[in-house]
Amino acid sequence: MARNAAIEPVSGISIAIPLVLLAALSAAVAVQSGLIVTRGSHLAFAAPQTIVVAPHSFAYRDAAEYFRNGLAVDAPKLEMRLTSALEIMKYQTTLGDYNRCVADDRCAPAEGRSSVSQDELPVTGISYDDAIQYAAWLSERTGAEWRLPSDVELAYAAADRFPDDALGIDPNDKNPANRWLADYEREARRAASINPRPQPQGSFGVSQTGLVDFAGNVWEWTSTCNKRIDLGKNDRSENPDPGTCGIMIAAGKHRAPMSSFVRNPKGGGCSVGSPPDNLGFRLVRRPGFLESLKDFARRAMTDMFEAATPSQGRAG
């Protein structure tokens, strides 16, 4: 009886946290021992360098094509704020990294690149489908989830380097000559680069968020499907499913709707405007199972120690 009387009540939280930690650690041991198999856990691979873009507000020109009475008008400019941080590749995917996927027989060789092309240059001659295949391969090799960014996410990460495709004319202007002139001037600004060949990393500057080489001579595939909105018809439907969409947005000096299978933008597939110089990509990263497990265990340990610390011993 005395021993029972000496046992002090223990809160449900104090019991639950060690049990949760025990479960987390058991899962980690199971993964390490091979009882639980994660994709690519047996393959060592150095993940690409990334940056983390902190949440912030930004002005975003909608990627959809807007029309009123059959005439193109500027898409609305929206005030956006992403509430969570975004981890994205600092540089565009290089030819050397892409060729590792080719060597594993998971990716098709890039178009127009010779065997003497420099591995550290951005990979080009890549379709949207190629980029998706590479993202799946990289996810398996690193254990983290990699995917193409949406147009909004790329604008969020590129910040001051992201283009504004507006014609800049009054949407109520019914004079077609003004629209044709504005469109001509815009296309003149979009003229192809004097030297469209891929350049070494850092050749096209850094955004205020730390993203390198965006809006150079490599346009980057996004997961955003091209969409047309006829304002007169009040079309506000959801964006099409990228899995069934044939025209995707590639972003660079300007947005370019491209067929998902196109690798050489000069060969066709651009629905409107000047074609890109090159097509490449960079990916967004989300932590995999083990990384999420470690973060969860770390937070749980912090909560447990804070709960166990007497209030009079805390600072403040």
d(CA 256, CA 272): 7
Same-domain status, 142 and 203: yes
Same-domain status, 278 and 295: no
| Helix 289-308 vs helix 12-33: crossing angle, to nearest 10 | 150
Same-domain status, 72 and 189: yes
Output the pLDDT for position 209.
96
Output the pLDDT for position 71.
76
Q: What is the pTM of this model?
A: 0.73
Structural domain count of the chain:
2
pLDDT greater at residue 196 or residue 110: 110
Same-domain status, 196 and 260: yes
Output the pLDDT for position 95.
94
Same-domain status, 174 and 143: yes
Average pLDDT on 268-293 reads 74
Same-domain status, 276 and 306: no
Same-domain status, 24 and 145: no
Same-domain status, 85 and 147: yes
What is the average pLDDT value for the chain, to the nearest integer? 77
- Asked if residue 62 belongs to a domain, the reply is yes
- Asked if residue 1 belongs to a domain, the reply is no
Same-domain status, 96 and 195: yes
Confidence bin at 295 (pLDDT 50/70/90): low
Output the pLDDT for position 10.
40
CA-based nearest residue to 147, from 130, 129, 135, 131: 135
- Asked if residue 205 belongs to a domain, the reply is yes
Whether residue 236 has pLDDT greater than 90? no
Q: Kindly state the tokens that stand for 261.
A: 């299978």
| DSSP for the chain, written as a single string | -HHHHHPPP--HHHHHHHHHHHHHHHHHHHHHHTSSPPTTTTS--PPPPEEEEPP-EEEEE-SSEEEETTEEEPPPEEEEE-SS-EEEESSPPBHHHHHHHHHTTSSPPPTT--TTS-TTSBP-S--HHHHHHHHHHHHHHHSSEEEPPPHHHHHHHHGGGS------S-TT---HHHHHHHHHHHHHHTPPPS--S---TTTT-B-TTS-BSTTSS-EEEEEEEP-EEEGGGT--PPPPPTTT-SEEEEESSSEEEEETT-S-GGGS-B-SSSPPS-EE---EEE--HHHHHHHHHHHHHHHHHHHHS-GGGS--
Output the pLDDT for position 68.
80
Confidence bin at 69 (pLDDT 50/70/90): confident
- Asked if residue 179 belongs to a domain, the reply is yes
Whether residue 58 has pLDDT greater than 60? yes
Structural domain including 59 reads 50-282
pLDDT greater at residue 305 or residue 12: 305
- Asked if residue 43 belongs to a domain, the reply is no
Whether residue 303 has pLDDT greater than 70? no
Give the CATH number, domain containing residue 111: 3.90.1580
CA 210 to chain CA centroid, Å, is 14
Same-domain status, 107 and 85: yes
| Helix 128-142 vs helix 95-103: crossing angle, to nearest 10 | 80
Same-domain status, 158 and 63: yes
- Asked if residue 42 belongs to a domain, the reply is no
Same-domain status, 209 and 76: yes
- Asked if residue 260 belongs to a domain, the reply is yes
- Asked if residue 264 belongs to a domain, the reply is yes
